[in-house]
Amino acid sequence: MLDQRLVRENPDKIASELGRRGKAVDLTRLQVIALKQRKLEEERSGLQAEGNRIGKEVGQKIKAGVDPKGEEVAELRQQGNAIKQKVAVLEEEEKHLSTQLKEQLLTYPNLPSTDCPDGKDETDNIELRSWGKPRHEQGLAEHWEIAEHLNLFDTERSVRIAQSRFVTLIGQGARLERGLINFMLDLHTSKGYKEVLPPVLVNSASLTGSGQLPKFADDCFRCSEDDLWLTPTAEVPVTSLHRDEIIPADQLPLRYAAYSPCFRREAGSYGRDTRGLIRLHQFNKVELYWFAHPDQSAEAHAQITADAEAVLRALELPYRVLDLCTADIGFSAQRTYDLEVWLPGAAAYREISSCSVCGDFQARRSAIRTKEGKATKLVHTLNGSGLAVGRTMAALLETGQQSDGSVVLPKMLVPYVGCERLQPE
């Protein structure tokens, strides 16, 4: 959430920065609300201070021997009661304005970093680096064709169980998915991440704190009888792991690796990637998440990206890193590095991880602070997929495919899957 002080004091900066995202906003009305709310807050605080002074004076007079039921004390108490009534009225007005202000602010995305490249769409993203040698051969199969040949998953029966865009992994497919999850978690925990297994159901406060609500309500699955939603990413529950807390500065950064199933409606994406593992309503993901000191934010962004890259390198999967432009970064992000893995069968790079620094945007929404001495400030949060498991499987199948129909697995994965290659069963 954006800083209310910035709305009051420099709305032009907000308008200018959101303009870099391609969003035209007029903050005049919001600034009026913010200024009025602040004025009421100052007036209320002044009255409360005066009421406290009067209460103290009453106590002192009674202690000095003045009649508690006398005219002098009664007059002071009358003044105090009048102030309480005024404070109650101001509190109600202030609450109303504060609600209006917060509801509007929750709809605005984060301001992009000054280092985030300007752009109008994804074609303006900048390639920073690449790794590995992509396969370029005629006649390579796409992952869903390979999976069908090896009987790794079943989509037709999954429609019977649920609906389209769900998949049931079978045999070697299920074992490969499980192996990938364990491999990723082991790799990240060996680098100092603390493993967490968060709830799959999350409340509205958790979704709001991470920036999913109200913006992405249509993309989420909701339980109709409770204030619970199926999590779209482990970023949501892990953000709320420290909601309304003060983290001592000497404990930062806190680094978590969280596996979770993820659920998304993928509203507006129908007709795209309808076959295979790329765009499902339910998929598995290992998420990397940092709570960092504001001074460590840029360094943490480089490191979380390197930690996600380490998975691709260990699995011998060629990839590239993109610096996303202002028009392409996510709602909560200040800056994002996308990792795109090469899919030989599709002859294209596809996103497999977005590593984002969010500044204090999520921390303000979730009231997550740190304290140094007497000073309290908001932490910075960062997140990145380490990695999306289904897309990793797709890349492995296409990269390791052989002319005899088998799929050779990378050496690092063999102990987790129990074989060197997948073959028809």
Catalytic residues: 264, 279, 351, 354, 391
SS3 content of the chain, % helix, strand, coil (to 5): 45, 20, 35
Q: 319 and 341 in contact (C-beta within 8 Å)?
A: yes
SS3 of residue 286 by DSSP: strand
Q: 238 and 258 in contact (C-beta within 8 Å)?
A: yes
Distance between CA atoms of residues 254 and 251, nearest Å: 7
Bridge pairing between strands 375-378 and 421-422: unpaired
Kindly list the distances between the CA atom of residue 370 and the CA atoms of 267, 290, 303, 327, 413, in Å, as whole numbers in the listed order.
Answer: 37, 14, 21, 31, 39
Residue closest to 279 by CA, chosen among 288, 289, 270: 270
* Residues paired with residue 261 on neighbouring β-strands, in sequence order: 284
DSSP secondary structure code for residue 401 in this structure: B
